[in-house]
A and B are shown apart, each in its own frame.
Chain A
Amino acid sequence: MTSGERPVSPGETAVELRGITKRFPGVVANHDVDLTVRRGTVHAVVGENGAGKSTLMKILYGMQAPDEGMIAIDGETVRLGSPAEAIAHGIGMVHQHFMLAGNLTVLENVVLGAEKAHGIGAAARRRIMEISDAYGLDVQPDRLVAEQGVGQLQRVEILKVLYRGARTLILDEPTAVLVPQEVDKLFGNLRELKREGLTVIFISHKLDEVLSVADEITVMRQGTTVASVDPAGTSARELATLMVGGELPVPELRESTVTDTPVLDVRGLTVRTDEGRAVVSDVTFTIHEGEILGIAGVEGNGQAELIEALMGVRQPESGGIRLGERDIASWPTKRRREAGIGYIPEDRHRQGLLLESPLWENRILGHQGEFAPRGVLRLGRARADTRRIVDSYDVRTPGIGVDVDALSGGNQQKLIVGREMSGTPRVLIAAHPTRGVDVGAQAAIWEHLRAARADGLAVLLISADLDELIGMSDTLRVIYRGELVAELDPASVTPEDLGSAMTGARPEAPEAPDSPDRPDRPDGPEAAGGDAGEDTKDA
């Protein structure tokens, strides 16, 4: 609480990071990171998923120790061994996922663990109201947390951090959970904080938000800080270029390999939640041999349910699914997989891997039939084939007996892709096949997809990376609130158009007045992603 008494003089350096390097097995999460945050400003840190933003913030909040580098707070070099030490130096963190106890009141949540500061009674209440009024946080101390909306809860989290004496607040993707009005309110709060001399570090990948609220922007790419820019002198397009760098591999298909032979034929598929809400409604499409069908959509618009219904993990209410000539709608997952449907699940840790098992056991997962034709596992065959995948998909591992857990995310993904493309599947259902993998692996996975497509594989591709979708799809459809609402030509569509189609805007009217899109927005996916995601939540 030492910094609380310091005189506030805006403009001087509040937080300085120099040469921060953090290594994890197989990956360098941060290297040579330099960051200077001036007091009384909102400082945005932007970068793609996996660029190292979260690791950096965990280092600043004392959750992880850097391997190299220096941290200075208010000009004084510090060592932050734990969040408690970070808080003592006036650094607080508002997590993306709220850490609140639902069955306690706001007051109780705020004082929990900070009872020493102002007790738990009238003094604490007074202090809470003071903070709330000073920054316009508008919290009601006696309401139960469980009864409140996300916007209010976020303000409670901010208050919690301020109550503990924080002068610098780290907000990790704070707008991800908010609807637009709440985003505006949050930005209002941030300006209040700034006016009172507090410092805000704002982590985001939504460029339009960053441009509207930040005083300074630091861009991270592949684990390091690549630029510091003034929002007044930049555009979202420029920022996006900085974020991804210039030399990214380009997803593209060469000549068309699409044939007339339908492989996966889906008719009128409808999936309802247990509450009866239709999350996939009346979806119809056909994928032919050698065709990649891309489905674009903001996350949470029914993609997960559609995939699960196709895999037989979730029971659809109605609709037909045909694999070649056979009706597979009533088949269990096992039979569908054995009939030649490969599956790259959306959440590899939950659905794609046994983290505490060695690589070769993970090779068997989902292909039990192949390695145990008569019920008895062929361990030698599994090991040999795992070695083949490790070699041809460049999985970086010391051996196939290592637990998958020890590999980096990109290498885990390469193992999954290699596994699911083995045994000449007829259909591949690929959800975010290159999510979280490094640039080289991304190019390799695309190349494998192209090769398999040329051999007649039918692919259903779901991705949040619009460039990947546009570049890798023969046919491109848009899913919105569970319905396939548009079909676009991947040869001519731009990410901007696709982004607005994903928000439900009709492609026939690209310049619709109510379009939330901004003309200069280069990264449609994420920016649009936020907007439309909130729309669906609103509904």
Chain B
Amino acid sequence: MRRVASSGLALSVTAAFIALVFAALVTVGVLIVTGYPPVQTIEQMVTYGSEPDSVVNTINRATTFFLSAIAVAIGFQMKLFNIGVDGQYRLAAFLAAAAGGSAFVAGLPPGLQQLVIIVVAMLVGGVWAGIAGVLKVTRGVSEVISTIMLNFIGGGVISYLLSPGRLAIREGNNLTTRPIGPDGQVPGIPFPDANFAVYGLIVLAIVVGFLYHAGVRRTRFGFDLRATGLSAPAALASGVDVRRMTVAAMLLSGLVAGLVGIPQLLGDAHRFALDFPVGIGFTGIAIALLGRNNALGIALSALLFAFLTESAQILDLNEIPKEIVTITQAVVVLSVVVVYEVVHRFGVRIQRQAVGRQLATAEGGAAA
């Protein structure tokens, strides 16, 4: 009995493993075809990637990736495709940075400043995603369309407001919000032999991960969320208000999305400038897929993606195009989707056979 039930986890791990091996093979193939020595290249990446500074960068990147993927995964639980995480976190980080740099927040006691910044970011992210949720339940607009449109609108809003006289100041060639003072920053966690520190708000990401896991698996809300994703008619008949859940899921996804830029904002950048990172929302989609919406899976996937991105930095120095790594990441996601589907079908078949066998013996025994 136990074997039938627990085969799901084993199959998931197997699938991820197969996908990774496959992606590694493809990468090696690409390296060979383009004329770079595969073994040496990988060695370089591993060596560089395991230097203390790289490890810190990997962890920090993984923290943002993780938050982004959790935001996406909340939507995925309900089969909602929030591809607007990118716009949500950027707008949220921008407005939170602007708030954090304002005279009003600077006047608050330390501790409260960080809290205000975080709450502003979450609210902005939540509102921006919530718009898509409301549009979906009231007007039937697909969240895929509305969130991606909101990305552009968000970008436009940032461009408009990030200009001198509005919410920005000029610093050399760069436009930036007013910097957040030391009382509003979050100190890093020192890492041995590294020149940088690990973002202090990694703690926040871990808390979010636990809340996500417990919320989805152990609460009524999470059950309703998953039920709606698995079968909306069944959820409706069971008493779930599907429309309300849609809005709630988008809101929650947006609240978490709002946090994506915060560890970096409060731990390192202290301001939102034109060079604030873009595209983490899309990376988050890939990581959520790879991690199968599971908090631990997402954490491991985020670390993997962060490591690949970080260790690729060395490639340019050795005149190997670092886009190779982008290929690897893409192949991982593509193959994981395919392999999971294959493995899932295989699992279903095994389970059915197990059920059939069990019943056959039960009936045979009864007859005999």
The interface-forming segment of B33-41, B176-184, B232-240, B314-322 is B232-240
Report yes or no: B1 in contact with A354, Cβ–Cβ below 8 A: no
Interfacial residues of chain A within 84-123, with CB under 8 A of chain B in the complex = none
Chain B residue numbers with a CB within 8 Å of A334 are: 239-241
- Choose among A313, A353, A401 the residue that contacts B4 (Cβ–Cβ < 8 A): A401
Report yes or no: B218 in contact with A333, Cβ–Cβ below 8 A: no
Can you list 6 pairs linking A and B with CB atoms under 8 Å apart? A334-B241, A343-B237, A351-B234, A351-B236, A364-B223, A399-B2
Interfacial residues of chain B within 277-317, with CB under 8 A of chain A in the complex = none
Binary contact readout A366-381 vs B (1 if CB under 8 angstroms, 0 otherwise): 1111001001110100
Within 8 Å of chain B (Cβ to Cβ): is A422? no
Binary contact readout A393-420 vs B (1 if CB under 8 angstroms, 0 otherwise): 0001111011101110000000000000
Binary contact readout A338-374 vs B (1 if CB under 8 angstroms, 0 otherwise): 1000010101001111111110010011111100100
Binary contact readout B208-240 vs A (1 if CB under 8 angstroms, 0 otherwise): 000000000111111110110011011011111
Chain A residue numbers with a CB within 8 Å of B358 are: 397-398
- Choose among A369, A372, A403 the residue that contacts B351 (Cβ–Cβ < 8 A): A403
User: B2 → chain A, closest Cβ, in Å?
Assistant: 8
- Choose among A354, A369, A406 the residue that contacts B231 (Cβ–Cβ < 8 A): A354
Within 8 Å of chain A (Cβ to Cβ): is B348? yes
Report yes or no: B353 in contact with A25, Cβ–Cβ below 8 A: yes
C-alpha spacing A338/B352, complex, angstroms: 34
Interfacial residues of chain A within 285-327, with CB under 8 A of chain B in the complex = 311, 313
Interfacial residues of chain B within 318-368, with CB under 8 A of chain A in the complex = 348, 351-356, 358-359, 362
Within 8 Å of chain B (Cβ to Cβ): is A75? no
C-alpha spacing A401/B121, complex, angstroms: 40
Chain B residue numbers with a CB within 8 Å of A351 are: 231, 233-234, 236-237
Report yes or no: A337 in contact with B5, Cβ–Cβ below 8 A: no
Report yes or no: B4 in contact with A405, Cβ–Cβ below 8 A: no
Report yes or no: A350 in contact with B231, Cβ–Cβ below 8 A: yes
Report yes or no: A402 in contact with B240, Cβ–Cβ below 8 A: no
Assign chain B's interface to a size class: 35 or more
Question: What is the chain B residue whose CB lies nearest that of A379?
Answer: B218
Report yes or no: A333 in contact with B239, Cβ–Cβ below 8 A: yes
Provided the pairs A356-B230, A375-B221 are in contact, do residues A23 and B237 lie with their beta carbons within 8 angstroms? Answer: no
Report yes or no: A405 in contact with B348, Cβ–Cβ below 8 A: yes
Chain B residue numbers with a CB within 8 Å of A333 are: 236-241
Chain B residue numbers with a CB within 8 Å of A377 are: 217-220, 222-223
- Choose among A366, A375, A397 the residue that contacts B355 (Cβ–Cβ < 8 A): A397
Report yes or no: B5 in contact with A399, Cβ–Cβ below 8 A: yes
Q: Which one of B1, B231, B355 has the greatest number of beta carbons of chain A within 10 Å?
A: B355
Chain B residue numbers with a CB within 8 Å of A510 are: none
User: A488 → chain B, closest Cβ, in Å?
Assistant: 30
Report yes or no: A399 in contact with B4, Cβ–Cβ below 8 A: yes
C-alpha spacing A26/B354, complex, angstroms: 10
Within 8 Å of chain B (Cβ to Cβ): is A245? no
C-alpha spacing A337/B238, complex, angstroms: 8
Provided the pairs A25-B359, A377-B219, A407-B355 are in contact, do residues A402 and B4 lie with their beta carbons within 8 angstroms? Answer: yes
Interfacial residues of chain B within 233-274, with CB under 8 A of chain A in the complex = 233-234, 236-241
C-alpha spacing A23/B4, complex, angstroms: 20
C-alpha spacing A24/B2, complex, angstroms: 22
User: B243 → chain A, closest Cβ, in Å?
Assistant: 11
User: B218 → chain A, closest Cβ, in Å?
Assistant: 5
Question: What is the chain A residue whose CB lies nearest that of B362?
Answer: A396
Chain A residue numbers with a CB within 8 Å of B353 are: 25
Within 8 Å of chain B (Cβ to Cβ): is A332? yes
User: B216 → chain A, closest Cβ, in Å?
Assistant: 11
Binary contact readout B1-28 vs A (1 if CB under 8 angstroms, 0 otherwise): 1101110000000000000000000000
Report yes or no: B238 in contact with A376, Cβ–Cβ below 8 A: no
Report yes or no: B233 in contact with A332, Cβ–Cβ below 8 A: no
Given contacts A26-B356, A368-B223, A368-B224, 13 further A-B contacts (CB under 8 A): A313-B236, A334-B241, A337-B239, A352-B234, A353-B231, A355-B231, A356-B230, A366-B237, A375-B220, A376-B218, A376-B220, A397-B355, A406-B352
Provided the pairs A368-B224, A398-B4 are in contact, do residues A375 and B234 lie with their beta carbons within 8 angstroms? Answer: no
Report yes or no: B354 in contact with A368, Cβ–Cβ below 8 A: no
Question: What is the chain B residue whose CB lies nearest that of A374?
Answer: B220
Chain A residue numbers with a CB within 8 Å of B231 are: 350-351, 353-355
C-alpha spacing A345/B239, complex, angstroms: 13
Report yes or no: B237 in contact with A406, Cβ–Cβ below 8 A: no
C-alpha spacing A375/B218, complex, angstroms: 9
- Choose among A25, A368, A376, A397 the residue that contacts B239 (Cβ–Cβ < 8 A): A368
Provided the pairs A23-B356, A406-B355 are in contact, do residues A366 and B223 lie with their beta carbons within 8 angstroms? Answer: no
C-alpha spacing A365/B219, complex, angstroms: 13
Provided the pairs A354-B231, A376-B219, A401-B4 are in contact, do residues A406 and B236 lie with their beta carbons within 8 angstroms? Answer: no
Report yes or no: A350 in contact with B356, Cβ–Cβ below 8 A: no
C-alpha spacing A351/B362, complex, angstroms: 30
Provided the pairs A313-B237, A375-B221, A406-B351 are in contact, do residues A401 and B362 lie with their beta carbons within 8 angstroms? Answer: no
Question: What is the chain B residue whose CB lies nearest that of A377?
Answer: B218
User: B73 → chain A, closest Cβ, in Å?
Assistant: 17
User: A303 → chain B, closest Cβ, in Å?
Assistant: 15
Chain A residue numbers with a CB within 8 Å of B240 are: 333-334, 368
Report yes or no: A365 in contact with B234, Cβ–Cβ below 8 A: yes
C-alpha spacing A361/B353, complex, angstroms: 21
C-alpha spacing A347/B241, complex, angstroms: 19
- Choose among B222, B230, B355 the residue that contacts A402 (Cβ–Cβ < 8 A): B355
Report yes or no: A26 in contact with B238, Cβ–Cβ below 8 A: no
User: A365 → chain B, closest Cβ, in Å?
Assistant: 5
User: A363 → chain B, closest Cβ, in Å?
Assistant: 11
Interfacial residues of chain B within 159-202, with CB under 8 A of chain A in the complex = none
C-alpha spacing A367/B241, complex, angstroms: 14
Report yes or no: B352 in contact with A365, Cβ–Cβ below 8 A: no
Provided the pairs A25-B355, A406-B351, A406-B355 are in contact, do residues A401 and B237 lie with their beta carbons within 8 angstroms? Answer: no
Provided the pairs A354-B231, A365-B227, A402-B351 are in contact, do residues A396 and B359 lie with their beta carbons within 8 angstroms? Answer: yes
